[in-house]
């Protein structure tokens, strides 16, 4: 790329291994963050986590982590601060990381009654493969093989995280034109696709909407309330209520950190 939009950013590839595929019911058994800090120093954080529940044999056969491997390991509460500090404000990279891995993280923090970390942006290589119309299949292993990236120890958090970072780099080289924009614009493109660049066609962005709460996590748009954070970023409150009621319950609970008067406004809106 002529200009590297990631220069000067903390860029971390993130992956989790879990007890299952449900972001609301499954638990994290391993996570890894691989990349570099703003000063270029390498970052590698990796933990096995005791999920405090049996690991289904089907999941163990995928990632190779069994009940005996997590015995004596820290529980999520023990590593939550380290994970939060790493992700907060970082540019997060991963394969299906927006929906799945960050969904798992948000659920784990919800169980602790804490706000989840908020990355500066999420650059999802699964979304990138779809936007760039890369041929199927779009699983990480197939994409890495097609782009000459060695993926050893697949389905371990560290290996998958590192592979997704290499895959993003490969995309930026092979499709440089698509990444000649700001980080925020890249993320918007990954989520929503291309849009006309003139302001009239583009309409207002999240930052242009009036905030409901002091931190601007919920914004008002012509009678709707739009989430400006988390895995449901850019979606309306009613959409979240219909598709992810567990997340909505957390959002309207004291654990979300929203002021009581703001919660009352949202509840009234949903009636």
Q: Do 114 and 233 sit in the same domain of this protein?
A: no
- Residue 211: domain span: 206-270
What per-residue confidence (pLDDT) applies to 36?
95
Does a structural domain hold residue 201? no
- Which pLDDT score, from 0 to 100, does residue 198 have? 41
Phi then psi dihedrals of residue 123, to 5 deg? -110, 100
Pair (185, 77) in one structural domain: yes
Last-in-domain residue among 171, 194, 217: 194
Strand order in the sheet with 11-18: 42-48, 28-36, 11-18, 91-94, 121-124
Same domain, residue pair 138 and 256 = no
Domain boundary among 139, 169, 194: 194
The pLDDT assigned to 201 comes to: 44
Asked, for residue 2, whether it belongs to a domain, the answer is: no
Q: Are residues 187 and 213 in the same domain?
A: no
Residues 189, 215, single domain; the answer is: no
Considering 147, 166, 194, which residue would you say is the last residue of a domain? 194
- 47 & 121 share domain: yes
Domain count, the chain: 2
Q: Coil, strand or helix: which one is 82?
A: helix
170 lies in the same domain as 70: yes
Cα 134 to Cα 132: distance, rounded to the nearest angstrom = 5
Contacts of 214 (CB under 8 A, 6+ apart): 259
Same structural domain, 102 and 211: no
231 and 161 within one domain: no
What residues of the chain score a pLDDT lower than 70?
1-3, 154, 195-205
Residue 144 lies in a domain: yes
Give me the count of residues in the chain: 271
> Where residue 52 sits, what CATH number does that domain have?
3.30.420.10
């Amino acid at each position: 790329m002529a200009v590297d939009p990631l220069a000067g950013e903390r860029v971390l590839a993130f992956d989790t291994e879990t007890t299952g595929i449900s972001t609301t019911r499954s638990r994290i058994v391993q996570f890894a963050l691989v990349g570099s800090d703003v000063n270029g120093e390498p970052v590698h954080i990796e933990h096995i986590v005791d999920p405090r529940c049996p690991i289904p044999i089907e999941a163990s056969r995928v990632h190779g982590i069994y009940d005996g491997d997590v015995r004596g390991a820290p529980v999520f509460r023990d590593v939550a601060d380290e994970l939060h500090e790493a992700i907060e404000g970082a540019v997060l990279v991963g394969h299906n990381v927006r929906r799945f891995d960050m969904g798992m993280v948000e659920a784990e923090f919800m169980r602790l009654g804490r706000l989840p970390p908020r990355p500066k942006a999420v650059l999802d290589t699964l979304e990138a493969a779809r936007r760039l119309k890369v041929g199927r299949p779009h699983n990480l292993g197939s994409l890495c093989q097609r782009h000459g990236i060695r993926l050893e120890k697949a389905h371990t958090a560290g290996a998958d995280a590192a592979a997704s970072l290499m895959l993003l780099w490969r995309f930026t080289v092979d499709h440089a034109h698509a990444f000649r924009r700001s980080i925020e614009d890249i993320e918007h493109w990954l989520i929503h696709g291309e849009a006309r660049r003139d302001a009239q066609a583009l309409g207002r962005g999240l930052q242009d909407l009036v905030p409901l709460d002091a931190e601007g996590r919920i914004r008002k748009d012509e009678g709707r309330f739009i989430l400006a954070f988390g895995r449901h970023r850019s979606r309306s409150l009613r959409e979240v209520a219909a598709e992810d009621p567990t997340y909505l319950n957390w959002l309207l609970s004291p654990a979300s950190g929203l002021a009581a008067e703001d919660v009352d406004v949202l509840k009234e809106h949903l009636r």
